[in-house]
Amino acid sequence: MAKTGPRLHAGGAGQRELNAALSGREPDHGSLAALLRQSGLKLTPQRHLICQLIENSDGHPTAEELYESATAVMPSMSLKTVYTTLNDLAALNAIRLVNVGTGGFRVESNLEPHGHLVCRMCGTIMDIPVNPAIEEELAVPPEIEFEVEQREVTLRGLCRSCASKQGEGAGA
């Protein structure tokens, strides 16, 4: 699942490739890139690309997945930069980094309250709606004195394709 090959790129040649890949470079307001800049961080091509990849990703990419997509466009991108940018975005509350126990966190760009379906075979995450009434029910017994900041609902099991794969496997 994780590529561990050599990461030896000649440094310093990222700008050109990026411009070729990105038509316009103005950070639309409300975008992750715009958020980065507004918060005083420099909007480097690397960060801009990572923000775009997150916004265009359908699901919940891992750092490694983003890194692979990024290097396709900007071969000089380093994995460390991906991590740093993700942590920066998370610190700004622009994304969340969720750890669903599948090894490595995943980027969560949907900040609306919702739950997660996690496939224990392929690690895929899907968002599911959670009845707001439930959220309220999830209260802490008063004697515990715990400051709740975040509520998580996670359902684990098998996604459709993994369930069918497993069915086949058992049959054969």
Partner DNA sequence: CACCTAATTTACAACGATTGTTACTTACTA
Partner DNA sequence: TAGTAAGTAACAATCGTTGTAAATTAGGTG
Q: Which residues bind a second copy (CB under 8 A)?
A: 98-101, 105, 115, 117, 119-120, 126, 128-131, 133-134, 137-138, 140-141, 144-160, 163
Site for DNA, rule CB under 7 A? 1-2, 4, 7-15, 37, 41-47, 62-64, 74, 76-81, 83-85, 87, 99, 103-105
Nearer to a second copy, 77 or 86 (CB): 86
Which tokens sit at 28? 């639309």
- How far apart are alpha carbons 123 and 113 in whole angstroms? 21
- The strand pairing partners of 98, in sequence order, are 106
98's CB contacts (< 8 A; 6+ apart) are 60, 105, 106, 108, 116, 125, 152
Q: Residue 134 binds which one of a second copy, DNA, none, with CB within 5 to 8 A depending on kind?
A: a second copy
User: Minimum Å distance from CB 156 to a second copy?
Assistant: 4
**Comparison of 24 and 146: residue with beta carbon closer to a second copy:** 146
Among a second copy, DNA, none, residue 141 binds (CB under 5-8 Å by kind): a second copy
Kindly state the smallest distance separating residue 145's Cβ from a second copy, in Å: 4
Distance CA(160)–CA(145), nearest Å, equals 40
Nearer to a second copy, 91 or 128 (CB): 128
Burial of residue 122 (CB within 10 Å: 0-12, 13-18, 19+) is middle
| Amino acid (one-letter) located at 169 | G
CB of 58 to DNA, least distance (A): 19
The SS3 call for residue 11 is coil
